[in-house]
Amino acid sequence: MELKKHNSKFNSPKQSVKIGLGYLIFGVVLLLFSGGKWNIPIASWLAPVFFIRFSRGQRPLIGFIIILPVSSLIAIITWEGLIPVQGPPYYVIHIIGGLFTALTYLIDRLVATRINNFLSTLIFPLTSVAFGFLHISTSLYGANGSLALTQNNLLFLQILSITGMWGVIFLITWFASFINWIWERNFKFEYVRIGTIVYIGVMVSVFLFGIIRLSFFPPNSETIRIASISSKLPDPDLPTNDQSWDVFKNESYKKQTEILALSKKASIVGAEIVTWREGEIYILKEDETEFVKQGSKLAEMQNMFLGMSIAVFTKDFPNVLAENKIVWIDTTGTIIFEYFKALPTPTEKCVAGDGEVKMLNYSKSKIASTICFDLDFPNFISKFGREKIDIMLSPANDWYAIARIHPQQVSFRAIENGFSLVRPNPNFGLATAFDYQGKMISYVDFEKTKNEIMISDVPVKGVNTIYNIIGDFFAWISSIGIVLIIIIVIFSKKNT
């Protein structure tokens, strides 16, 4: 690895205060549209170009001190209402995220500027992947906020089936460091010829892979009809006294009658599997057994699989946590299994399930189930991929602010793991179904229609992916790689 000498002809950009401020302003404006409520996918590629340009023109500590509050503040603005946290914890989350961002630019400033060849372009993307991996692995909110989730181009996103989210992060951030590399060489082709060929070759290969996967390996198996239901009736209010529990029970009974009628209606139009949105029925523990019996009778009578998404409370709630679960019943009326939400959001007052992979006893397909927030954790969902699941049924209950952006983001799990994904959602949100290439099979915007049922004809077979086999290998290699490069640079500095 060739390190930069003090008299190298390719130095970090010398900036006037005005030029440096200009780069920062460009970066800030683009960062406002790089995720969160105002996401524009291309902005996530362009914003780091100007932040790197700004950072490399500053003393390392100065750049770090400026980027940390700037990136934190932008995250606080753009993610308002998108995560269910308020007050000091909300600000702490984004300050920590800003710290990761600022450290990424600091490492690039300290290390990349000492390497006098094309390998310098790898510092920023390797660091971005390493910190992204660390952040997602430790965050209570999983992949939410990841740079990868800003993208929606299916040709590009097929790389998820090989590298998971880490390849997407790498390629976005590599663009920024590559542009700065040729910028520092005044875009003179004779100085950047080989590196440019390598970069373009990699990017063309990624998109070519996407074209081939989408065009030549689409789902071609038979399909199964799956119904996703979200009743228009409101959830009953949780009581504050003993008398209120009678009101709660009466409202719950009304909705129970409604949802069973809708389930029967869905089976009449050919649905072999019927599932409801997350927590569709609020019910007291003492009434659960009788309601599940009614569901069992309906499933047997209609010869269908029924996923009863219920939120079960006791009168001691919240001192006794609720159960957020799906009770799965087969065509004989037999309860196959119960799946409790494995990863409740930090603000949910419900018990966490064991996350065990359980499947419906459907002969043509491996069909499993999760609930909503579970899908935001790639490492958790990967164990379903390793079991070669064909279809994932994941009832959701997105709050209004994310009800139209969250479905596309969690479709990443389908591409990564090679299964189709069916995701019922509440009556103000977007119910969706995706195949294993991330293509939308069907959707219903329940807020804009009187319809309460989404019908999806879903391929019964998924595919095995490279990501299923290697898991987070790309993230580990990136993390180890950046550590080794930093060690080499430090050692080389001591010997110069």
326-367 confidence digits (pLDDT tens): 999 999 999 999 999 999 999 899 999 999 999 999 999 999
In a domain, 7, yes or no: no
> Among 83-87, 117-121, 390-394, which is the least confidently predicted range?
83-87
For 338, residues 6+ apart whose C-beta sits below 8 A from its C-beta are: 325, 326, 327, 328
The predicted model scores a pTM of 0.94
In a domain, 165, yes or no: yes
pLDDT score at 11: 55
Separation CA 379–CA 138 (nearest Å): 11
Count of the separate structural domains present in the chain: 2
The enclosing domain of 277 has a CATH number of: 3.60.110.10
CB atoms within 10 A of CB 386: 14
Is residue 227 located within the same domain as residue 121?
Answer: no
pLDDT band of 495, cuts 50, 70, 90: low
In a domain, 4, yes or no: no
Is residue 74 located within the same domain as residue 148?
Answer: yes
> Torsion over CA of 274, 280, 281 and 285, rounded to 10 degrees?
100
Residue 10 in this model has a pLDDT that exceeds 80: no
Is residue 327 located within the same domain as residue 271?
Answer: yes
Give the angle 369-375-381 at the CA atoms, nearest 5°.
Answer: 75
Is residue 193 located within the same domain as residue 341?
Answer: no
pLDDT score at 7: 40
pLDDT score at 83: 85
In a domain, 254, yes or no: yes
Is residue 108 located within the same domain as residue 138?
Answer: yes
Q: What is the mean pLDDT of residues 43-50?
A: 98
How buried is 233 (Cβ within 10 angstroms: 0-12 exposed, 13-18 middle, 19+ buried)?
Answer: middle
pLDDT score at 492: 79
Q: What is the mean pLDDT of residues 428-454?
A: 95
> For the segment 76-105, what is each residue's pLDDT rounded down to a tens digit?
999 998 888 889 999 999 999 999 999 999
Range(s) of the domain holding residue 166: 17-217+472-494
Handedness of CA 399, 403, 407, 410 (dihedral sign): negative
Is residue 211 located within the same domain as residue 279?
Answer: no
Is residue 206 located within the same domain as residue 331?
Answer: no
Q: What is the mean pLDDT of residues 441-463?
A: 96
Question: What percentage of the chain carries pLDDT values higher than 90?
Answer: 88
Is residue 207 located within the same domain as residue 332?
Answer: no
In a domain, 65, yes or no: yes
Residue 5 in this model has a pLDDT that exceeds 90: no
Is residue 162 located within the same domain as residue 299?
Answer: no
> For the segment 205-223, what is each residue's pLDDT rounded down to a tens digit?
999 999 999 999 999 999 9
Question: What percentage of the chain carries pLDDT values higher than 70?
Answer: 96
> For the segment 123-155, what is each residue's pLDDT rounded down to a tens digit?
999 999 999 999 999 988 899 999 999 999 999
Is residue 58 located within the same domain as residue 106?
Answer: yes
pLDDT score at 239: 87
pLDDT score at 452: 96
In a domain, 1, yes or no: no
pLDDT band of 16, cuts 50, 70, 90: low
Is residue 191 located within the same domain as residue 51?
Answer: yes
Is residue 94 located within the same domain as residue 206?
Answer: yes
